[in-house]
Structure 1
Amino acid sequence: MEYETLNKETPEMKRLISGIKKLTNRVRTLAQTHRPLFQGDLFLTGREVCERLFLSPRTLQDYRDKGILPYTQIAGKILYRLSDINKILEENYIKR
């Protein structure tokens, strides 16, 4: 019976190392973007809301000041409930 020696340069090990690196990067991304649910609701930061709605931070502040978007403020951190944003989008949807 013949045995093959594996080292970092063999194709099998290169594929294994590449797969581990990809998995590591994916886990890091998920860890950074994961937001736990609070009573079944997902809360977004202002930056996340701006990215999703294609708004500037100043426009988001105007919407907050005018009462267009509801928000929660805890220790200076402002959070927006995803379900509230979806509800506002649905209510203001215009069918053509």
Structure 2
Amino acid sequence: MAEIITKDSDEFKELTGWIKKTGKAVENATVRIRPTIADEHYLKGDDVCRKLHISRRTLQTLRDEKAILYTSIGGTLLYPESGLYEVLKKNYRDFRRFMK
């Protein structure tokens, strides 16, 4: 005789638990994936602010002053990751040498 599985059965609860864990894993993986265009990784504005520890207003100022590269696709501003690294390298100052 076949066993009937209901929403209250342990098997059903275990299965739904696995489905929820899988869904969370997919969500987490999706967040880490960055879009690439012509082998370049692009970041959205919120990602740039988080990585550089700056406000959205500061990001706007950097755009206005043409200090960072960006492109607009479908109304979304995207920032080439390599361009951000170039700006950081160009403007890097080692303040530790002044602390001695």
Fold shared by both chains (TM-score > 0.5): yes
Residue in 1 aligned with 2:63?
64
Using a 3 Å threshold, how does the CA distance of structure 1 residues 41 and 17 change in structure 2: closer, same or farther? same
Gaps of 5+ in 2: 1-12
Letter aligned with residue 43 of structure 2:
L
CA-to-aligned-CA distance 1:49-71 (integer Å, 9 cap, x gap): 00111111001000000111111
Matched pairs, number: 95
For residues 28-47 of structure 1, the aligned pairs below 5 Å read: 28-47=27-46
Residue in 1 aligned with 2:3?
none
**Distance in 2 of aligned mates of 1:59 and 1:36:** 24
Q: Which sits farther off after the overlay, 74-83 or 63-72?
A: 74-83
TM-score with structure 2 setting the length: 0.68
Residue in 1 aligned with 2:87?
88
Letter aligned with residue 94 of structure 2:
I
SS of alignment partner, residue 44 of structure 1: strand
TM-score with structure 1 setting the length: 0.70
Letter aligned with residue 87 of structure 1:
E
**Distance in 1 of aligned mates of 2:76 and 2:19:** 36
Q: How far is 1:39 from its partner?
A: 1.2
**Distance in 1 of aligned mates of 2:69 and 2:35:** 20
**Distance in 2 of aligned mates of 1:85 and 1:78:** 14
**Distance in 2 of aligned mates of 1:36 and 1:74:** 12
